[in-house]
Amino acid sequence: MLRFVTRLVPALYLLALAGVPGARAADCAGTHQIDRCLVGTWKMTTNGMERWMREHVHKFNVTSVSQTGNTITLNADGSFATGASNVTVQGVGSGGATGTGHMAAQASGHWSAADGHFNVCAAATSSMNGTATVQQNGHAVTVPVHPTVPPVSSQAYTCGGNTLKVTTPMRTGSVESIYTKIPAP
């Protein structure tokens, strides 16, 4: 059962992180440059981390993923804020174990975009936490999950019209998440 928890926790963390970048200062990743195409509010429509988990996290079969609040607002002054992201993952592991993980995250700070990379720099107030529960043979174990929001992250991106694609390299393959621009009121 412990082995199942150790697989569920990193997968849950990565899934939530894919939806919620972080931020820190006016200068982000060594530049103040922004791409005007990115300015606006974006909603995640394809969470690439979910697909990556299904393909690469072995011995844990994801049966359902529920996500709310996966939005990010990128302002022209280089500041940003995410929605209150909530992700719940359920699955079945080897030996009949079942698992449920929940991650809540929210971030704000500054962003930049240069040389094909979208950079986010996390404010100290950004947060991410959750729980992972595994049940097997009538026993349940719940552990808290408190990953840290990275102070700086940089991901390749393309932006055109109302579509933003963000690609995150992984040890095995990469994760491509797609966002759709929400029209301004």
Q: Closest by alpha carbon to 68, among 92, 91, 102? A: 102
pTM of the model: 0.80
The full set of domain ranges for the chain reads 2-182
CA distance 121 to 112: 9
How much is the pLDDT for 45? 92
pLDDT of residue 4: 44
Q: Which stretches within the chain are classed as H helix? A: 2-19, 48-56
pLDDT, residue 66, reads 92
pLDDT of the residue at 155: 95
Q: Which residues in the chain come in under a pLDDT of 70?
A: 1-26
> What pLDDT is recorded for position 55?
84
